Amino acid sequence: MRDSDRDTPDSDGDTYVVYHDWDEDDSLSSTVVTAVAAIRNVEPTAIDPLNEAVDPDALNTIFENRHGGAERSGATLTLRLNECSVTIHGDGRVVVGAPGEAASGGNNVR
C-alpha cells in the first residue's frame, strides 16, 4: 500500500479505501489481507485465509500489467472475506466494506 493512502476511511467510516503500490515488494493479495484486517481492527493473521475466497496467485496475476506494460485499469474483482465486501480495481484501489455490508453479487470479475 502507498504510505500516503494507508487506511483511509470514507466519510461514513464504513468503508476503507487503500491503494496497492505496484512498485513495492508486497503482493496485491497482501494488500487485500492488510486492508480487511484494518477494517476489522485485527492483525492480518487473525482473519480467514485469503485462499478461502480467491486463489492469491490468481488474484496477483489477474491484475498484473499486460505484456508491453499496459495497466489493467478497467478490471475489477469483488469478493467476500471475513464478512467484508472487497472490491479490487485495476488501478490498485482496494475498497473494503465493513462486516455485514452487502456484497455486489459474491465473487465477480469484470
Contact by Cβ (8 Å): 81, 36: yes
Residue range 21-75, pLDDT digits in tens: 888 889 999 999 999 999 999 999 999 999 999 999 999 988 886 666 666 677 8
Instruction: Select the more confidently predicted residue: 7 or 68.
Output: 68
Take residue 15 and report the three cell numbers written for it.
468503508
Q: What is the pLDDT of residue 23?
A: 81
Q: What is the pLDDT of residue 108?
A: 46
Contact by Cβ (8 Å): 33, 44: yes
- Tell me what the mean pLDDT of segment 3-10 comes to: 46
- Tell me what the mean pLDDT of segment 6-35 comes to: 80
Q: What is the three-state SS of the chain?
A: CCHHHCCEECCCCCEEEEECCCCCCCCHHHHHHHHHHHHHCCCHHHCCCHHHCCCHHHHHHHCCCCCCCCCCCCCEEEEEECCEEEEEECCCEEEEECCCCCCCCCCEEC
Structure pTM?
0.78
- Tell me what the mean pLDDT of segment 87-92 comes to: 92
**Residue 109 pLDDT > 80:** no
**Residue 107 pLDDT > 60:** no
